[in-house]
Structure formats: structure tokens, C-alpha cells
Amino acid sequence: MTTRVTLISPALSAALREARFADGPLDAAGLRQAEAVRGAVADAFAGAGQLVLASPSLRCEQTAEALGLVAEPLPELRACAMGRWRGLRLDEVAATEPQAVAAWLADPAAAPHGGESLEALHARVGHWLDALPADARVLAVAEPDVVRALTVHAIGAPAGVFWRIDVLPLTATELSGRIGRWNLRGGRPLGGASH
């Protein structure tokens, strides 16, 4: 039996554009792009027995709604907890704490912000993926860092590969297989959406 997980990254928001460690509503362009691919998402991902989930963030909930999905927020799919860096932009933190940012980018076990390390994020989302039933069908609107971490876990790559994976807005990353043997199809635009 094959498990199928499709991860849709959220549409654009001011926080995503600014590389800000924060949630926030979709901006006007992001909302338009999500609404423009609504029909394509319904056609491509409709399926009986499919579980529809979302990271518990405003941008993921709004993306799911704009795509016409009724998604259940799932705590296991929350973004990496950024501790005292929450709300700040990456460039702001890099200007005031360059050594801390360098450690965070170089060491998956580091959490200089006092939040969650990348290793902890990988363990959390990996446990969720591995616990899915063998015949599960899941569609989830998930934060970009969650998509990256699940991709790394599924292909068995070292945690440091996380930073080498780009997750564009409104793209689908598809995992199929089972624990220990996943296939990956990444970065497929939803309905030809432009980014």
C-alpha cells in the first residue's frame, strides 16, 4: 500500500516577502494568485477519503480557503518556533547577531533564538509523516520550512540539506511511498501559477 502526501506551500504574504520570522495574512497579490488556481487545485487534488490539513498559521489557513479547501489545522505542521527572533526579519537579526545567525545556519542542532532547532523541527514533522497509515491520502497547505523538513526526512538526507531546498509559493511537493522508501516530486506550480 502506498501513502500519498501532497504539500502545498502558502501564497505570498508580507512576512514571506520580507523573510520575517512571523505569520501574517496573505497580501493582495498572494490572494489573487491563490484564487486564480482554485479550479486547477480542485481538479488535480479532489479525491474521496483524502485528509485535508493545514499548518496552523493565518497564511496557510487563508491559502487553503482561497484554494477552496476545508482544511483542519494540525499542530504537528506548525512552523519552526523562532523564540526571541519571532517577528523580526532575517536581515535585522543578521545585523545584530551575526554569530548567532551563522551558528543557526551551520548547525541543525543550534537554537540561538531560544526556540526550536532544525533538528527538532525535522523530528516533529518526520514523526508525523512516519505515523501516517499505509494507505493515507493527505493534502496539506504547509509552511515552507515544514515542506523543506518533510522533504529532507522523506529522502533521508542530512538535516543540513534543509537550506538548499527552495520552496516557492503555491507549489506542490508530492511524497509517495511508505516509511523508509519515499519518492519525491517537488516544486510543481499549481495550475501554472506565476511567482
Query: pLDDT tens digits, residue range 70-91?
Result: 999 999 999 999 999 999 999 9
DSSP 121: H
The Cα–Cα gap between 159 and 148 comes to 10
Query: pLDDT tens digits, residue range 5-55?
Result: 999 999 999 999 999 999 999 999 999 999 999 988 888 877 656 899 999
Strands of 87-126 (E only): list them. Answer: none
User: Quick check: 189 pLDDT over 90?
Assistant: no
101 CA to centre of own chain = 21
What letters, b where the CB count within 10 A reaches 16 and e where it falls short, cover 60-84?
Answer: bbbbbbbbebebeebeebbbbbbee
Query: pLDDT tens digits, residue range 86-138?
Result: 999 999 999 999 999 999 999 999 999 999 999 999 999 999 999 999 889 99
Backbone angles phi, psi at 82, to 5 degrees: -100, 10
Instruction: Indicate the pLDDT class of residue 186, thresholds 50, 70 and 90.
Output: confident
Distant-in-sequence, close-in-space partners of 42: CB < 8 Å, separation ≥ 6: 68
* Residue (of 60, 63, 71) closest to 35 by Cα position: 63
Residue 193 is predicted with a pLDDT of: 43
pTM, 2 dp? 0.93
User: Quick check: 194 pLDDT over 70?
Assistant: no
